[in-house]
Amino acid sequence: MDKAREITNKIWDMANRLRGNMDASEYRNYILGFMFYRYLSENQEQYLKKLLTDTKSEDINEEYRKAASEKDGNDLLAYIASVNGYVIGPEYTWKSIVNEVNNSTIKPDTFQRMLDSFDTNLKLNTNSKSDFSNIFADMNLNNSRLGGTTTARAKALTEIVNLVDQIEYKDENGKDILGRIYEYLIKEFASNSGKKAGEFYTPHEVSKLLAKFATVSFDQNSIKPSVYDFTCGSGSLLLTVKDEIKNYKRILYYGQELNTTTYNLARMNLMMHNVPYNRMKLRNADTLEEDWPSETDAQGVEHPLNFDVVVANPPYSQRWDNNDRKLKDPRFKDYGLAPKTKADYAFLLHGLYHLDQNGTMAIVLPHGVLFRGAKEGKIRETLLKKNQIDAIIGMPAGLFYSTGIPTVILVLKKNKTNKDILFIDASKGFEKGKNQNILRDEDIDKIIETYKARKDVERYAHVASFDEIKENDFNLNIPRYVDTFVPEPPVDLKEVAADLHETNIEIEKTQKELVGMLKDLTSDDDDIMDGLNAIIKELKEENHD
């Protein structure tokens, strides 16, 4: 077990003992919130060591306190905010808070003042205010489930501070593993949140597959690579794309998320994976109602912002408002509107609208998008006639926390030269888990290598021409193109007859041996003889059958 996983397991065990009657999804906000606060504080501390170079004291926190108390202290805070995007006052640094906890001098309202101070200091850098604003809003310090009184709640919070302060952020080699610990914890909270997990977490193996599809043909020398996840959850998918791009230090990350709590998780998650705040643009909004992002050119005309890589795992078959006004929406007008009760294609079209001409998009959707008719059928036909669907991959069932249904990955491009579509049936390649199935590395590798090769593989993959798809009335259901049926081996009647003959000989031989044994029995063994005779009769009947 690696160090990050070992530490995560310890945190999880301790958290379970501390959280009392609070469920995992609620307690998550405090554990991860304090972890992020500690990260910000220690990141600031590293900067202060460089800034206050003339200090002789080993206690940088004390030097910071002195510098901030001088007449130009406010200028110092403003300068730190201009560089880091935020600033934590000396009385509320992580070390200051931990010292108060250890010395039992912490006051019941300290934590609230700590968070209020953080928000107030955001005014010192208006350029970064939106990146950090309300990032701790989900840490409800007055939650009665923390405790019935102010003192009880403060005690519960100090226990969390102690827990978070014990976390080692380095492995045996001194390498920073904070991001991995944070990601593991998000996964643990997801596995204990049931259907709610789908709101904020895509299993890493699925994220890895999506990221690989979207970056197979990516130009690693791109000057300013950009990636967009329009239902970004906790940001795990964006970070997995980062792992696939060598030039990751130049990536611009864009994400939109409707759930405010999840949006805050994403902001924390990216920063704790060393993504600078000024290289990420995350937005808390409804993707289908509010198209984003866009940019304004020199003439003042607004244009959609397009991306090299678009990835998404949107909510499946969600209801949406497909009113007539949206018929004029440039995202949908060339294709039509998805049905009111199934927004799957609405999400797909939004992502496609923001895909660069030479980019790649990979999205997870339910199987129904492949064959459902009416409005979805028309959208599918238009996508095919525009030659924008590159590949369709059937995934195993039970990969997600929130649903057991099988899903498909659609890979889309705007500038395809080939007119065919690759179908892959990967539904049987997985490891069965206790609560959910798992894609193994060998399963992922097989899928990606098949995608790259783009050739027929018996009972696994098929490259279908446009004419073949047209003959199927633009139905993309995978079994129409990939026949996974394994016929039973043919029966050799001669071999069966020979086996029967051999069996008859064996039975006859056994019967003779039994008869010989019977002759040796005395008349007192009538019951045994009757039993043996019954066995002989049964053997004869079986042979006859």
Beta bridge partners of 312: 363
Rounded to whole angstroms, the Cα distance separating 404 from 163 reads 34
* Nearest of 391, 398, 392, 454 to residue 429 by alpha carbon: 398
Give Cβ neighbours of residue 360 (< 8 Å, ≥ 6 apart).
Answer: 213, 214, 215, 216, 217, 218, 308, 309, 310, 390, 411, 412, 413
Angle, helix 204-215 to helix 441-453, in steps of 10 degrees = 20
**Does residue 405 sit in helix, strand or coil?**
coil
Per-residue pLDDT reduced to its tens digit, 94-123: 999 999 999 999 999 999 999 999 999 999
Exposed / middle / buried, residue 81 (Cβ in 10 Å: 0-12, 13-18, 19+) = buried
* Fold classification of 196-480 (topology level): Rossmann fold (3.40.50)
What is the per-residue pLDDT for 297? 86
* Fold classification of 3-178 (topology level): Ferritin (1.20.1260)
What is the per-residue pLDDT for 487? 60
| Residue ranges in the chain modelled with pLDDT below 70 | 1, 54-57, 193-200, 402, 485-492, 514-515, 517-532, 534-545
Answer whether 102's CB lies under 8 Å from 80's CB. no
Rounded to whole angstroms, the Cα distance separating 109 from 10 reads 29
